[in-house]
Amino acid sequence: MVKNIPPHGGKLINRIASAEDREVLLDKAKNYAMKKIQLDSREITDLDMIAVGAMSPLEGFMCKEDYDTVVNNMRLANGLPWSIPVTLSASKEEIEGLKPGNDVALIDKANEVIAILHLEEIFHHDKTKESLEVYGTDDKKHPGVDYVYKMDDYLLGGKVSVVNRAKPGDFLAYRLDPAETRELFVKRGWKRIVGFQTRNPVHRAHEYIQKCALEIVDAILLHPLVGATKSDDIPADVRIKSYEVLLEKYYPKDRAMLSVFPAAMRYAGPREAVFHALLRKNYGCTHFIVGRDHAGVGNYYGTFDAHYIFDEFDAHEIGITPLFFDHTFYCKACNGMASYKTCPHDSANHVILSGTEVRRMLSEGEAPPPTFTRHEVAKILSEYYQSTR
């Protein structure tokens, strides 16, 4: 019988309140003058991912001991690997009158109560330390660091009970919780599933490493991130169209699956590579592709730092197998896709285009060469770029 890989920590967390508890908590929030805190889009996304087990073993926003050990040592207080702090911030005014043991109503931008925080701790947010340790810089030009410095000055820790799940209006056909992807993997008889993280369109280089990985596993989960990203990243709806056409025309239908990954992008480079791997384990993946400069931005990280960071953990405690890939490209001399590990030819033979050059070509209606991207993908991207001119 096909079984799923165990989730991180051994148990798939569920923090969605039962129908009975939901009514009690909503009544308490309404009638007992419960303090309310409004969440931003990342906090709402994190909350939902905690609730459905995507961030197992977390049951809520981090308390100080977990936060400190994650920032300092990439581990939770119990020693389990975890590389990114998952926190809820609050202002001095918001914490006034609050104390551990209180319940706090967490509300969305429409002021609807979406969850109750069972407050355990209030502690000061050391933004400089978090930036330097997690992102490797305190430069506010780094989008992850910029977010940290814009957070409020205090962090609230405690378990959560979700009473009204967020209602995304997009990609509904592809929004699958970890319990659902796990059920589908078993139903399809897939024992070994490789996850692929992306916030960009899939070009030929990505396709090449995905298909290399498919040679050693049963199936691939194309799991594009659709949470908050930088303003200059290609919008998720455009990317989804490009994934759909690729899967339809160039991938085996019984060995490939598309589902969206709702997380917000941190751009934390190596640490986020570990984070992405652990969360894909919770979705049921047994393997995870780590390419060059995974989750990087600008020149803040070395090309293969996201590979090297996995050496800081024992394989059994990570529990998901990372598959490391070098820089890949089309080589004219090889007459095919290759990487620096497999190609002996001079770089003059390699079809490598910068993001700036690709954007220029697409915005001007010029198609990148088919050795760089499939023409169907180029058409979708060209229509998008020309519409934004």
Q: Supply the pLDDT for residue 114.
A: 97
pLDDT: which is higher, 234 or 95:
95
Told to judge if 199 belongs to the known catalytic residues of this protein, a careful annotator would answer yes
Predicted TM-score (pTM) of the model is 0.96
Q: Average pLDDT, whole number, for the chain? A: 95
Distance, in Å, from the CA atom of 228 to the CA atom of 175, rounded to the nearest integer, reads 16
Q: Minimum mean pLDDT among 40-44, 170-174, 316-320, 339-343: which range? A: 170-174
282-305: average pLDDT: 96
Question: Spelled out in words, what is the top-level CATH class assigned to the domain 174-261+267-387?
Answer: alpha beta
User: Which runs of E-coded beta strand occur in 63-185?
Assistant: 89-90, 103-107, 113-124, 154-162
What is the predicted pLDDT for the residue at 356? 81
Give the β-pairing of 193-198 and 219-224.
parallel
Q: How many beta carbons lie within 10 A of that of residue 212, not counting itself?
A: 17
What is the DSSP code (8-state) at residue 81? B
Q: Which of 1-5, 89-93, 119-123, 307-311 has the lowest mean pLDDT?
A: 1-5
- Taking only the tens place, the pLDDT of each residue in 324-350 is 999 999 999 999 999 999 999 999 999
How far is 207 from 192, CA to CA, in rounded Å?
19
For 93-135, the pLDDT digits (tens) are 999 999 999 999 999 999 999 999 999 999 999 999 999 999 9
**Residues 6+ positions from 148 with CB-CB distance below 8 Å:** 127, 130, 131, 135
> Model confidence over 9-24: pLDDT tens digits?
999 999 999 999 999 9
pLDDT band at 213; cut points 50, 70, 90: very high
Identify the pLDDT of residue 345.
Answer: 97
Q: What is the pLDDT of residue 363?
A: 86
- pLDDT tops 80 at residue 1: no
Among 199, 266, 280, 374, which one carries the catalytic annotation?
199
Domain residue spans of the chain: 19-162, 174-261+267-387
**pLDDT at res. 82:** 98
Helical segments of 74-117, H only: 92-95
What's the pLDDT score for residue 199? Answer: 87
Q: For the domain bounded by 19-162, which CATH number is listed? A: 3.10.400.10
Identify whether 322 is preceded by a cis peptide bond (ω within 30 of 0).
no
Hey, what's the torsion of the CAs at 115, 120, 122, 125, to 10 degrees?
-80
Q: Chain centroid to CA 74: how far?
A: 17
- Alpha helices for the chain (secondary structure H): 19-31, 41-51, 64-73, 92-95, 127-130, 143-150, 178-187, 204-214, 236-250, 270-282, 305-308, 315-318, 355-363, 375-387
Share above pLDDT 90 across residues of the chain, in percent, rounded to a whole number: 88
User: How far is residue 249 from each of residues 57, 215, 216, 348, measured CA to CA in Å?
Assistant: 38, 18, 21, 30
State the residue for tokens 């994190």. Answer: 46
How far apart CA 268 and CA 272 sit, in angstroms, is: 5
pLDDT at 389 > cutoff 80:
no
Please report how many Cα atoms fall inside a 13 Å half-sphere around the Cα of residue 36, on the Cβ side: 16
175, 200, 255, 349: which is the annotated catalytic residue?
200
Instruction: Give residue 227's pLDDT band: very low, low, confident or very high (50, 70, 90).
Output: confident
